[in-house]
Amino acid sequence: MNTKTFICAVTTLFSIVCIDSVRAEELHRMERKYGLYTGILSDPVGAVPISLAANLTSFLRANIGFAYTPDVWGSKGDFFSTGGGIKFLPMNSNLTPVLGGNFFWMHQKSDKASNPWKTDWFDRPEQNQYIFYINAGGEYQFENGFNVGVGLNSFLMKWMPFPYLNLGWFF
């Protein structure tokens, strides 16, 4: 996804949210504050993540979780990560943009100095390190607690955006 497409998508999302927020509605995220979600390249970054989340206020969410990424790209090593973050949900609406700051602690055990992302900080045979990343996207929480989120994650040390999809349930 190039920069123009990303900017266009974010602008469209903000427009939809602004129109949607004009309606008087109750925030489902305040009725159902605690949740569990998973996704594709979700929080924390990994192929198979599971996160716990808590809506601290109507515009702020904290999450913690863990992820496992099996050796599917030929890197000869599995990735395990644990992490957390804070999400900012700026609109007073069930459909809202999401901006987040996150970190994860990654452990990789590999017998080959190769990796799926081809970056110098993934090129050691065994490593433990903290990695910070940001995400931007949008989400909708339904009345029954079902939550869907989409957007882009990017590592802070190297601009390398990749999409994510969250599916969860809040209660």
Query: Considering its fold, how many domains does the chain have in total?
Result: 1
Structure tokens at 76: 């000869």
Task: Determine the pLDDT at residue 1.
Answer: 58
Task: Determine the pLDDT at residue 79.
Answer: 76
Task: Determine the pLDDT at residue 45.
Answer: 73
Range of the domain at 46: 3-170
Task: Determine the pLDDT at residue 40.
Answer: 85
Task: Determine the pLDDT at residue 22.
Answer: 44
Q: CA torsion angle for 107, 62, 28, 6 (degrees, to 10)?
A: -70
Closest to 83 in 3D by CA, of 132, 121, 120: 132
Count Cα atoms within 13 angstroms, Cβ side, for 125. Answer: 2
Judged on CB neighbours under 10 Å (0-12, 13-18, 19+), 90 is middle
Task: Determine the pLDDT at residue 161.
Answer: 85
Pairwise CA distance, residues 130 & 118, whole Å: 18
* pTM > 0.85: no
What is the block-wise mean pLDDT of the chain (171 residues), using blocks of 10 residues? 62 57 68 93 79 94 88 67 93 92 80 49 62 92 94 83 92 94
Task: Determine the pLDDT at residue 102.
Answer: 92
Task: Determine the pLDDT at residue 106.
Answer: 81
For residue 7, the domain's CATH number is 2.40.160.20
